[in-house]
Amino acid sequence: MEREKVLIIGSGPAGYTAAIYAARAGLTPVLYTGGQPGGQLTTTNDVENFPGYPEGINGPQMMIDLQKQAERFGTRVHFALATAVDFSAWPLKVTIDESKVVEAESVIVATGASAKYLGLPSEETFANKGVSACAVCDGFFYRGKEVAVVGAGDSAAEESTYLSKLCTKVHLIVRRDEMRASKIMQQRVLNTPNIEVHWNSETEEVLGDDSGVTGVRLLNNKTGEKKDISVQGFFLAIGHKPNTDIFKGQLDMDESGYVKVIPGSTKTNVEGVFAVGDVADRVYRQAITAAGSGCMGALDAEKFLAAKEGLVAH
C-alpha cells in the first residue's frame, strides 16, 4: 500500500497553495484534484481581485499557473477523486476512485464548497455572461447597471447592499412575503433606496442574447402574474454546499456541513487532518483567503509531522 507524508484532497487555491508550501518544505505531497480540477475558479472568466495580477487573470489559467508552481517544487498531481476516507486510526487512509487505498501520515482537506443554483437551463446558458454566485467577485463588472439578486437570507441581504453601491438599481427576488435575514440586515435592505424587493416572486427564466443576460422573468407565486424585469446581471445568493459528504462521521462539522477547525488553526478534531479553504470557511469564500488558509494547513501539517517523527524516533 502506498504511504504518503502529506495527501491533499482538492485543487483550488487552498489545495494548490498547501501543495506549494508542503513541497518547498521537502514533504513531497501528493494532490488529488477531485471531480472539478481547479475548483470554483475554473467557472470564472475574470479574476481581478487576486493580488499580483494588475490586469486580472482568467480563472482557469490561474489554476493552471498554481498547478505548475506546485509541480515545480515536487508536488505530484493526480487527476482522480477521493471517494472515501478512514480517519479512525493513524496512519490515515484515503480511497481513490473507489478502488485504491492510500495511507497518509497527514491529510489536508481542500474540497471547497459549491454554490447552490436554481436549476434553470438558462443559468447554465448565461454562466459567466451575467449569471454569478459571488457579488464581491463580479460586482465590479456591473458598475452603473441594473442587476437582480435571488435569496432571502443574510447572504442575499449583504450582496444586495454591496451591489447597491455599484449599480444603479438592485432587484431583490424573494420567494415569500418575508425575508429570513436578521432584522438589522433586513432594515439595511429596506432602507436602501435603489434596492427594490420583489416579494412572493420566483425566477422562471433568465433572459438574454448573444451579449449575455438582458433580463429576468418573474412569477408571482400568489397571483400567478408574470413580469419581465430588465437587468444585466443575475446573482444567486441562496447558499453554498460544502463538499464534505465523504467526511461525514469522520470529521466534526457544523449544521451546514462545513468542517469545524480549532480557531486560529486548520486543525480538525482528528489528529493529522487539516481543513483549508471554503470547506471550512462559510464567511469569506474568496480565492485569497482560501490560499492563505492553504498556507496555514501546510505549516500545521509540517509541525504535526515533525512532532510525530520526534515521538516515533523516541
**pLDDT tens by residue, the chain, 314 residues:** 899 999 999 999 999 999 999 999 999 999 999 877 777 777 776 788 899 999 989 888 999 999 999 999 999 999 999 999 999 999 999 999 999 999 999 999 999 998 888 999 999 899 889 999 888 888 999 999 999 999 998 889 989 999 999 999 999 999 999 998 889 999 999 999 999 999 999 999 999 999 999 999 999 999 999 999 999 999 999 888 899 999 999 999 999 999 999 999 999 999 999 999 999 998 888 899 999 999 999 999 999 999 988 765 44
**Residue 40 confidence (pLDDT):** 76
Q: Which residues pair with 101 in a beta bridge?
A: 95
**Residue 41 confidence (pLDDT):** 76
Q: Please say whether the dihedral angle defined by the alpha carbons of residues 146, 147, 153 and 154, taken in this order, is positive or negative.
A: negative
**Residue 45 confidence (pLDDT):** 67
Backbone conformation region of residue 285, classed left if phi is above 0, alpha if psi is from -120 to 50, else beta = left
**Residue 46 confidence (pLDDT):** 75
Residue in 247, 255, 252 with CA at minimum distance from that of residue 267:
252
Options 3.40.50.740, 1.20.1050.10, 3.30.360.10, 3.50.50.60; CATH for 117-236 is: 3.50.50.60
Q: Which residues are catalytic?
A: 134, 137-138
Residue in 3, 6, 191, 188 with CA at minimum distance from that of residue 100:
3
3-114+240-313 is classed CATH 1.10.10.10: no
Exposure string of 198-210, with b = 16+ CB inside 10 Å and e = fewer, is bbbbebbbbbbee
**Residue 312 confidence (pLDDT):** 56
Cell of 166: 455599484
C-alpha span between 164 and 235 (Å, rounded): 13
ω into 54 cis (within 30 of 0): no
pTM (predicted TM-score): 0.80
Q: How wide is the angle at C-alpha 292 spanned by C-alphas 289 and 296, nearest 5°? A: 135
Residue in 268, 206, 242, 238 with CA at minimum distance from that of residue 40:
242
| Fold match between domain 3-114+240-313 and domain 117-236 | yes
Residue with cell 501543495: 19
| Sequence-separated (6 or more) residues with CB below 8 Å from residue 138 | 44, 132, 233, 235
Helix/strand number for the chain, H first, E second: 7, 19
**Residue 12 confidence (pLDDT):** 93
- List the chain domain ranges: 3-114+240-313, 117-236
CB atoms within 10 A of CB 106: 27
